[in-house]
Structure 1
Amino acid sequence: MAKKILLSLLPLLACLFVHAQKPDAAGLSRLKHDQDTLQSLSEEIFSGKGDDGRGSAIDQFIPILVRALKTKYSFRFPFDSLKTVSIQYPQDSAFRIFTWAWERENGFYRHFGAIQMNTPDGQLKLFPLFDASDYIINTDTITNNKSWYGCLYYNIVQRHYFNQEYYTLFGWDANNPRSQKKLIDMLTFKNGAPVFGGPFFSFAEDSTPQPVRNRFIIEYKKESTATLNYNKELDMIVYDHLISETNEPMKKFTYVSDMDYEGFKWQAGKWVHINKIFHDAIPMGKGAPAPQPLDQKKKSMTHPKSAEDYQSQEIPKKPVKKKQ
């Protein structure tokens, strides 16, 4: 009996062994060398002089990154010194996503990225991501890596349903001088290739039901902040309810948080909208709290923050007095 159990586990153990393989000494040396070059270039992309300087850094960055990833078992190398490049992994480590942004002199942004698959033999399987967000008129559509809705990913939540893995991607788009965006995109794989979007955002339980959406996006004032992320304690997606501070709902760049929250709960293979998470009403006669302004000097290209994050930094905790 024990022998049968051991034999049945051998394929799994072999798979785990292969996935635990690391680059050899020569490969590791090349990766470290390339990482140093990429680090310097990534800083130029983020804060270099002018579009020409930043564009030139991108033109150099991409082939060096691809060269580095071609190193056998490069998936095991973290590239953790690339502070302006977001690298996100799902729970099962089936792949990882690199994303980074180029801020143009006119205040608009273009995004770049790639999905590296975790292959059993350590060979490179890479899907480059081409930012088509400026040309996607209908954002509620299903796309692929060649027509990607570009952004910086800051979290991945994995769900399993009916023998299928679903990866919920949380992204931030600094967008333009007047507004920024956060979005939720669903990533699945069909015939081994990535598919972005799908009918996964349901509003069927709302008092006024809306059509299912393929992608969920919020847009808000550039100087404001908004939460959009998965909350482990609540086991759901939580995001700020937004209103126009000038009562002009058609102008998304006027939207700010009113300190109320909506969300999505995973049910039967979909994220189902919850209209109101907390039920503490604002007292009569009092307006919504003023949104926490965004300090542009503190912005992070890989870790976009919510109002709560900034407030926790601005308000230091009182030190605990030791008993004499």
Structure 2
Amino acid sequence: MAKKPLLSLLLVFISLLALAQQPDAAGLKQLMRNQDTLQVLSQDIFNGKGDDGRQRATEAFIPLLVRTLKTKYSFRFPFDSLKTISIQYPQDSTFRIFTWALERENGFYRHFGAIQMNTPDGQLKLFPLFDASDYITNTDTIGDNKSWYGCLYYNIVHRHYFNKEYYTLFGWDANNPRSQKKIVEMLTFKNGTPVLGGPFFSFAEDSTPKPTRNRFIIEYKKESTATLNYNKELDMIVFDHLISETNEPMKKFTYVTDMDYEGFKWQAGKWMHVNKIFHDAIPLGKGAPTPQPLDQKKKSMTQPKSAEDFQQETPKKPAQKKKQ
């Protein structure tokens, strides 16, 4: 009989603790006021007039975001009106990542971001992300927040192995006028600071093993679509197998999906490559389905979509009734 009062007291304590970790009334008011200004600036970053206008919006957005996050317990504030800023959380909510893209008039992109840690005392602990992708000649590297392979993160998958936390980040890079990229890399923390990349993508089980990669990237045609994401049902990373539509494998901007899929499965602290996920043969006399081209007007800077996403959103034609 004594267990119920103890349980009730524990629940009350947890509720009070949660309330104590929220911004106070003055802090919440300041967060909401600053969010309104950030929302306007974020729209200007996305579709402002010319390179200069978008750059000025970015230069105003960054210091205001930092000042705003200095509000005690700002981690609890969702910033849900910032529609062109991607904000991703892992399952354990130990941090969140802000990322956004600045498009230049020449069709190239620069990325910005920051990792905000969820601190017990509500004080700000922030790691700014500096996009070094223009200067990285070897993408298979291990870096930190000052040597970030810039992208827009759209998913985080958390794994625990041997008393250590591993966070798999999925990102999209609009790249340039001819091609786009999707990226998967591991985020870990060493002495409290972020480490981006690492030898976690293994091809040891392939028939022809290849070296383990620190970061896995697919690059493909600008007008095409490709999947690279975690599939909960399969408990795997799934991605499109790509081929050059012009039989020029050195030209990544010619790559499109051939409707086959590869993947990675989590095994002993690594993502192990799976060469082929689905083994269903296409019925004789029927060609492979044609991937739906990407409508650039539907492109989302915070939720990049795969061919499957677009196909699911396309309304299906109603079935015609059979004549009696």
Equivalences for 1:1-324 in 2 at 5 Å? 17=17, 21-282=21-282, 288-316=288-316, 318=318
- CA RMSD for the aligned pairs? 2.1
Q: Which SS does the other structure have where 2:316 is aligned?
A: coil
Contact between 1:88 and 1:153, CA under 8 Å: does it hold in 2? yes
Does the C-alpha gap of structure 1 residues 189 and 16 become closer, same or farther in structure 2, counting only changes over 3 Å?
A: farther
Q: Distance in 2 between matches of 1:93 and 1:29?
A: 24
Q: Could you tell me how far 1:14 is from its partner in structure 2? A: 7.5
Q: CA deviation at 1:71?
A: 0.0
Q: Could you list the per-position Cα deviations for residues 10-60 of structure 1 after superposition, in whole angstroms to 9, with x for gaps in the alignment?
A: 9xx789926961000000000000000000000000001100000000000
TM-score by length of 2: 0.92
Q: Following the alignment from structure 1 to structure 2, what is the Cα–Cα distance between the partners of residues 255 and 19?
A: 51
Structure-2 separation of matches of 1:201 and 1:273: 7
Query: What amino acid sits opposite 1:224 in the alignment?
Result: S
Paired AA for residue 259 in structure 2? M
What per-residue deviation string (whole Å, max 9, x for no partner) do you get for residues 175-217 of structure 1?
0000000010100000000000000000011010000000000
Quote the offset at 1:288 in angstroms.
Answer: 4.4
The TM-score with structure 1 as length reference comes to 0.92
Note if contact 1:18-1:121 (Cα within 8 Å) is conserved in structure 2: no
* Structure 1 residue 283 displacement after superposition: 5.4
| Separation in structure 1 between the aligned mates of residue 318 and residue 96 of structure 2, nearest angstrom | 39
Structure 1 CA distance for aligned equivalents of residues 20 and 250 of structure 2? 51
1:18–1:120 contact (8 Å) kept in structure 2: no
Superposition deviation, residue 280 in structure 1:
1.9
Amino acid in the other structure paired with 2:146: K
1:117-167 Cα distance to aligned partner (Å, 9 max, x none): 000000000000000011110000001000000000000000000000000
Q: 1:296 to 1:16 in 2, by over 3 A?
A: farther
C-alpha displacement of 1:312 = 1.3
Deviation at 1:285, TM superposition (A): 7.4
Distance 2:181 2:81 in 1: 26
Give me the whole-angstrom Cα distance separating, in 2, the residues matched to 1:207 and 1:155. 30
Contact kept in structure 2, 1:19 and 1:118, CA below 8 Å = no
Question: What are structure 1's unaligned runs of at least 5 residues?
Answer: none
- Structure 2 unmatched ranges of 5 or more: none
CA distance in 1, matches of 2:304, 2:20: 31
Report the Cα offset of residue 316 of structure 1.
3.2
What is the CA-CA distance between 1:315 and the residue it aligns to?
3.0
Distance in 1 (CA, whole Å) between partners of 2:311 and 2:251 is: 27
| 8 Å contact kept, 1:15–1:120 | no
